[in-house]
A and B are shown apart, each in its own frame.
Chain A
Amino acid sequence: MITIFGVPGPLLFGQLLLGLINGAFYAMLSLGLAVIFGMLNIINFAHGALFMMGAFVAWILLDSLGIGYFPALILAPLIVGAFGVVLERTIISRLYKLDHLYGLLLTFGLSLVIEGLFRNAYGSSGLPYRIPDVLQGATNLGFMYMPNYRGWVVLAAVVVCFSTWAIIEKTSLGATLRAATENAPLVQAFGVNVPRLITLTYGAGVALAAFAGVLAAPIYSVNPNMGSNFINTVFAVVVIGGMGSILGSILTGFGLGVIEGLTKVFYPQASATVVFFVMIIILLARPRGLFGKAA
């Protein structure tokens, strides 16, 4: 058996893959947070709850309507995204003139409501979601066995992250979006409907979280706490990366997942806290974050 730094190869690669998967979720969630923050100047504390909602919508679609995994991968983000649009129009849009902190507090309250409602309806023990048949089993990569579903998650996350990046950086819609982030009144003066752009941005960010939720459903059991377990770490990821750059959010997310995976191999006790240690180091060395703009 191959050993690397005294660690058996399969163990190392297995943990690296787990790290990449966690990293994929960090990347998708912190990307959504960054996009929403750029347009709305709000830290969407409800992001974890909406991620959880995505997983639950997929589960409900399968359980009560018999709609399978792949349609759910499209339907759940659309449903949750529509919910996000309604939220933005009815509630969140009232806060734009106030201090940013109120947005954080409102969305925190929102996450309590959403999580509480799901806990009432489905309990907190967790519901199983079956891996679709096509993605069952594992593939021998030569140096390790990779469960197909996990490979699929990493692939899907990479594709979605880079499509988001491409839309924002390379299309004309993205250019309008970036311009509105810089200077909303000026873009409005050019005849762009900025409030609608803001609503759609929130909807898209939320849909991204829901998409991640559907991907997560077969890996973690579908339960009301799955979002809040993630979101605290995601905030640390956001602080490390800084919210200035889309690509930065993606790289930071994946990178920290890998670091977490490696820590699990070499020093398992610290695996839950390593992201926070990295955050401390970054705060000391470069307070605005790896990719953050100067304040």
Chain B
Amino acid sequence: MFGFSRSQYIAFLVMVALIIVSPFVLYPVFLMRVLCAALFACAFNLMLGFVGLLSFGHAAFFGMGSYVTAWTMKNWHLDAFFAIGLGGLTGAVLGLVLGYLAIRRSGIYFAMITLALAQMVYFFCLEAPFTGGEDGIQQVPRGYLFGFIDLSNDMTMYWVVAAVFLGGFLMIHRIIHSPFGQVLKGIRENEPRATSLGYRTDDYKLIAFVLSCGLTGIAGGTKALVFGIATLTDVHYSTSGEVVLTTLLGGLGTVFGPAMGALIVTSMENYLAQAGAWVTVIQGAIFMLCVLAFRRGVIGEIANWRKLTL
């Protein structure tokens, strides 16, 4: 099912088992943070790992998803399902517009363009009245899912977040292993050849970008719901940088890498919270270390060592 190989199947079962067991051992709010970051990184990896395009502006989709979910929950008292769905839709629509502009260039230009466009979204959020400027949207109620599941309980919320993450994870896995995903990998490896085979590579890239941004919006919306807050940090370019680090550290172009990266990066932030600005220094140093000596990432190294596909 879902095109898992044997090793991936085992890894998936281990991951699900961890997701089920961990809230009884660890603080559920921390785990929800990990799961949101993991979905964000998986969605990002769809672009960088499988299409080979580095988006340095994914914070725009994460942040806008987060704002829209928070705003609709607070002002329209929507059902959590629709609020998160609207967050995802916002990410996808924004992704369609910005992606349409950005895919005109590739390589480092793509990275610079997405960074600049996301910076524009950041300035928009800074000025626009509905985002609450520097304060953000605070005290967002978690509300109800499907009208009857009360999300104010942390454990209930945890299972919902876990379901959202697994849904997104399986969807991405399915996308990667579909014929569509094979074309994406073909474009990554040799774009002119894909073009000569008759594929409209720009359309493929744009569809992948929209899917990635939609899932990113869902991750942002879920995060806003869990913490009851949507702020400028979510749209800031440091968030874009962090998701790149997460994916790189976990393992670029692997299926399980981004989730592993999210676990490491989020734990690091959690336990180093007192260290203040040193967190940035350590993150930067890890970034450089990854690029210089550790380009496969944690999962990529394990896969390479055991000769597995993960």
**CB < 8 Å neighbour of B277 from A116, A228, A236:** A116
Interface contact A276-B117, CB-CB below 8 Å: yes
Interface contact B124-A273, CB-CB below 8 Å: yes
Q: Classify the secondary structure of B's interface with A.
A: helix
Pick out which of these stretches binds chain B: A70-78, A94-102, A130-138, A213-221: A94-102
Number of interface residues of A (CB under 8 A): 42
Interface contact A106-B288, CB-CB below 8 Å: yes
**CB < 8 Å neighbour of A108 from B109, B124, B241:** B241
A115 within 8 A of B: yes
Please measure, in the bound complex, the distance between the C-alpha atom of A233 and the C-alpha atom of B287, giving whole angstroms: 23
Pick out which of these stretches binds chain B: A19-27, A56-64, A177-185, A277-285: A277-285
**CB < 8 Å neighbour of A235 from B116, B281, B283, B290:** B116
Interface contact B101-A116, CB-CB below 8 Å: no
Range of interface residues on B (Cβ < 8 Å): 35 or more
Which of A115, A117, A232, A272 is the most central at the interface, judged by chain B CB atoms within 10 Å of its CB? A232
A3 within 8 A of B: no
Interface contact B284-A232, CB-CB below 8 Å: no
Segment 219-278 of B: residues with Cβ below 8 Å from A? 237, 241, 244-245, 248, 276-278
Interface contact A232-B116, CB-CB below 8 Å: yes
Q: What B residues does A91 contact at CB under 8 A?
A: 288, 292
A113 within 8 A of B: yes
* A72 CB → nearest B CB, Å: 26
| A105-B244, A106-B288, A109-B288 known; A120+B124 contact, CB < 8 A | no
A-B contact pairs, 18 of them (CB 8 A): A94-B292, A100-B107, A101-B54, A105-B244, A106-B291, A106-B292, A109-B245, A109-B283, A109-B285, A115-B280, A119-B277, A124-B277, A233-B119, A235-B116, A239-B112, A239-B116, A280-B101, A288-B105
* A248 CB → nearest B CB, Å: 15
| A101-B111, A238-B112 known; A112+B280 contact, CB < 8 A | yes
A111 within 8 A of B: yes
Interface contact B116-A112, CB-CB below 8 Å: no
Interface contact B113-A279, CB-CB below 8 Å: yes
Q: What B residues does A98 contact at CB under 8 A?
A: 295
A104 within 8 A of B: yes
A102's closest neighbor in chain B, by CB?
Answer: B291
Please measure, in the bound complex, the distance between the C-alpha atom of A196 and the C-alpha atom of B262, giving whole angstroms: 40
B105's closest neighbor in chain A, by CB?
Answer: A287
| A239-B109, A273-B124 known; A119+B291 contact, CB < 8 A | no
Interface contact B120-A273, CB-CB below 8 Å: yes
Interface contact B291-A235, CB-CB below 8 Å: no
B39 within 8 A of A: no
Q: What A residues does B280 contact at CB under 8 A?
A: 112-113, 115-116, 119
| A91-B292, A102-B295 known; A113+B285 contact, CB < 8 A | yes
Interface contact A43-B291, CB-CB below 8 Å: no
**CB < 8 Å neighbour of B278 from A115, A120, A124, A276:** A120
Please measure, in the bound complex, the distance between the C-alpha atom of A48 and the C-alpha atom of B148, giving whole angstroms: 51
B127 within 8 A of A: yes
Instruction: Write the residues of chain A forming the contact surface with B, with a CB cutoff of 8 angstroms.
Output: 43, 91, 94-95, 98, 100-102, 104-106, 108-117, 119-120, 124, 228, 232-233, 235-236, 238-239, 269, 272-273, 276-277, 279-280, 283-284, 287-288
Interface contact B123-A116, CB-CB below 8 Å: no
| A106-B292, A119-B280 known; A273+B123 contact, CB < 8 A | yes
| A91-B292, A101-B108, A102-B291 known; A112+B241 contact, CB < 8 A | yes
* B247 CB → nearest A CB, Å: 10
Q: What B residues does A239 contact at CB under 8 A?
A: 105, 109, 112-113, 116
Q: What A residues does B107 contact at CB under 8 A?
A: 100-101
| A239-B109, A276-B119 known; A95+B281 contact, CB < 8 A | no
Q: What A residues does B290 contact at CB under 8 A?
A: 105, 109
Q: Classify the secondary structure of A's interface with B.
A: helix
Q: With contacts A106-B292, A116-B278 known, what are 7 further pairs, Cβ within 8 A?
A: A91-B288, A101-B107, A110-B284, A236-B119, A269-B127, A272-B127, A279-B116
Interface contact A276-B120, CB-CB below 8 Å: yes
B104 within 8 A of A: yes
Please measure, in the bound complex, the distance between the C-alpha atom of A101 and the C-alpha atom of B291, giving whole angstroms: 10
| A101-B111, A104-B108, A273-B123 known; A110+B117 contact, CB < 8 A | no
Please measure, in the bound complex, the distance between the C-alpha atom of A273 and the C-alpha atom of B123, giving whole angstroms: 7
* A32 CB → nearest B CB, Å: 15
B161 within 8 A of A: no
Please measure, in the bound complex, the distance between the C-alpha atom of A225 and the C-alpha atom of B130, giving whole angstroms: 27
B115 within 8 A of A: yes
* A112 CB → nearest B CB, Å: 3
* B284 CB → nearest A CB, Å: 3
Interface contact A95-B117, CB-CB below 8 Å: no
Please measure, in the bound complex, the distance between the C-alpha atom of A102 and the C-alpha atom of B296, giving whole angstroms: 12
A112's closest neighbor in chain B, by CB?
Answer: B284
Closest 8 CB pairs of A and B: A109-B287, A112-B284, A116-B280, A116-B281, A113-B284, A276-B120, A236-B116, A109-B288
Please measure, in the bound complex, the distance between the C-alpha atom of A26 and the C-alpha atom of B253, giving whole angstroms: 35
Q: What B residues does A113 contact at CB under 8 A?
A: 280-281, 284-285, 288
Q: What B residues does A105 contact at CB under 8 A?
A: 54, 244, 248, 287, 290-291
| A109-B287, A112-B280, A113-B288 known; A284+B101 contact, CB < 8 A | yes
* A158 CB → nearest B CB, Å: 25
**CB < 8 Å neighbour of A116 from B241, B284, B291:** B284
Please measure, in the bound complex, the distance between the C-alpha atom of A280 and the C-alpha atom of B99, giving whole angstroms: 11
